[in-house]
A = this chain, B = another copy of it.
Amino acid sequence: MRRFRVPDVVIRRLVIYLRILNEMELETGPHYISSQELGQRAGVSPAQVRKDLASFGEFGKQGVGYEAHNLREELRSILNQDRPIKVAIFGLGELGRALTRYLNRCPHGEECDVFHITAIFDSDPRKIGQTFEGVQVSPPDALPAKMEREGLDIAIMTVPASAAQMVADLCVQAGIQALLNFAPVKLFVPDNVRVHYSDVTLELQQLSFYLS
């Protein structure tokens, strides 16, 4: 199955299913989970659960359901959560620091635990060379060397809107495949690079609509 053919919304649900199965690992309870129960916990229909999972293989047994631990391992593998994911932060402002702390202090076994901030980039000469949470701050033009030396999977962009496209271009050139952009601006990248957005102002604007 071509990864880029799977609709975003299906991937989002797989992440939710994985979260539910992770919670179940902590419970002492049934080793099997039905599409009914998984759907109920995820807020979707049992048919939707079966369809989502069937795209990736034969995981369940008719009338019995899914073996929970096994399905969890399968989802971890499908979502590349079975190996450490190397993350770079661009922009060590307030938000960059908050995210670095959050990810690098993630308790063992929690979902954030697979993500490791392995590089921090900032263009401020006063920050370059300093160490934050055990990671040395580099100038953006050090990205290609860093990429070659340790590889980086995802870039988190917490730079000002005016710098965001330039930083995205740098990341694309260096071969980073996925960007999580906190700057309130749409980015233009090639089709083989994924961008997700986290835009607080946009969320607040949407929420405002519902105020009476």
Q: Which residues of A contact B (CB under 8 A)?
A: 3-4, 6, 8, 11-12, 14-15, 18-19, 78-81, 85, 87, 93-95, 97-99, 101-103, 111-112, 114-115, 153-154, 177-180, 184, 194, 196, 198, 200-212
Q: Are B207 and A194 in contact, with the CB atoms below 8 A? A: yes
Q: Are A205 and B94 in contact, with the CB atoms below 8 A? A: no
Copies in the assembly, this chain: 2
Chain B contacts for A6, CB-based, 8 A = 209
Q: Is the interface of A mostly helix, strand, loop or mixed?
A: helix
Q: How near does chain B come to A142, taking the closest CB pair, in angstroms?
A: 22
Known: A94-B97, A200-B198, A201-B115. Contact between A3 and B207, CB under 8 A? no
Chain B contacts for A99, CB-based, 8 A = 200
| Interface CB pairs A-B, < 8 A, 14 | A3-B209, A11-B206, A15-B206, A18-B205, A80-B209, A85-B208, A94-B94, A95-B102, A111-B205, A153-B208, A154-B204, A178-B207, A180-B203, A196-B207
Q: Which residue of B lies closest to A97 (CB)?
A: B94
Q: Are B184 and A210 in contact, with the CB atoms below 8 A? A: no
Known: A94-B101, A102-B95, A184-B111. Contact between A210 and B194, CB under 8 A? yes
Chain B contacts for A98, CB-based, 8 A = 93-95, 97-98
Q: How near does chain B come to A57, taking the closest CB pair, in angstroms?
A: 15
- How many Å lie between the Cα of A71 and that of B11 in the bound state? 36
Q: How near does chain B come to A171, taking the closest CB pair, in angstroms?
A: 13
Q: Which residue of B lies closest to A87 (CB)?
A: B204
Closest 4 pairs between A and B when the two form their complex, measured CB to CB: A94-B98, A178-B207, A80-B208, A95-B98
**In this complex, which of A12, A79, A203, A212 has the most chain B Cβ atoms within 10 angstroms of its Cβ?**
A203
Q: Are A206 and B211 in contact, with the CB atoms below 8 A? A: no
Chain B contacts for A4, CB-based, 8 A = 210
Q: Are A178 and B80 in contact, with the CB atoms below 8 A? A: no
- How many Å lie between the Cα of A19 and that of B30 in the bound state? 49
